[in-house]
Chains A and B, each alone.
Chain A
Amino acid sequence: KQEVTQIPAALSVPEGENLVLNCSFTDSAIYNLQWFRQDPGKGLTSLLLIQSSQREQTSGRLNASLDKSSGRSTLYIAASQPGDSATYLCAVSSGGYQKVTFGTGTKLQVIP
């Protein structure tokens, strides 16, 4: 059974700081890994999708890396802004039906 863990559970940083969010998974036989953002009471917004054959993906100030062999992914956010405040979830697709398992989330607060 796939298990996905995110560290830290919560993070508070001053505006402008670069930061790294971590995601680890137990079963390395994955199809892909996706990072999402969730604002309070809202649905999920997809940030980055990394296929199992890829090592990283970049979008603007965001960079996600994937190391399948060690079961890890990181989300790097450069020059953080207050608008980046949200909960960040990583989700791993694996197994039958390419079932998605979500991490526990990291709640980020960027202080102006």
Chain B
Amino acid sequence: GAVVSQHPSRVICKSGTSVKIECRSLDFQATTMFWYRQFPKQSLMLMATSNEGSKATYEQGVEKDKFLINHASLTLSTLTVTSAHPEDSSFYICSARDTENYGYTFGSGTRLTVV
């Protein structure tokens, strides 16, 4: 079945630095990938829709200059948290749609801690 690989699984960074998270579709091409954020004991909130070769579509309230998304190829999307602050600490998960059955496959998530 479709597999989405997400790296790193865990990262700790200092305030003010930037962190890049990668999301790869391993055995299928994904023209569209999605980035979610999950706060403790809450469900997933869609942050943005990443489209290959074009600009990402951000959900209301998500700062596009803070959360930079690049989808340069059909198998890779990246999320860069710029000038990270402690309030950016969260669990970030990407997903891609399997074009065969249109179900969604999720990465294993990235636990970001900003100190």
Q: Which residue of B lies closest to A41 (CB)?
A: B111
- Number of residues from B at the complex interface, CB < 8 A: 25
Main secondary structure on A side of the interface with B: strand
Question: CB of A76 within 8 A of chain B?
Answer: no
- Flag if B102 contacts A32 (CB, 8 Å): yes
Whether B103 sits at the interface, judged by CB under 8 Å, is yes
Contacts of A70 in B (CB 8 A): none
State whether the Cβ of A46 lies closer than 8 Å to any Cβ in chain B: yes
What are the residues of chain B within 8 A of A101 when measuring CB–CB?
46
- Residues A34 and B93 in contact, CB atoms below 8 Å apart: no
What 16 additional pairs, Cβ within 8 angstroms, besides A42-B109, A46-B106, A51-B102? A32-B102, A34-B103, A36-B106, A41-B111, A43-B93, A43-B109, A46-B103, A46-B105, A93-B104, A98-B97, A100-B46, A100-B95, A100-B104, A102-B44, A102-B45, A103-B43
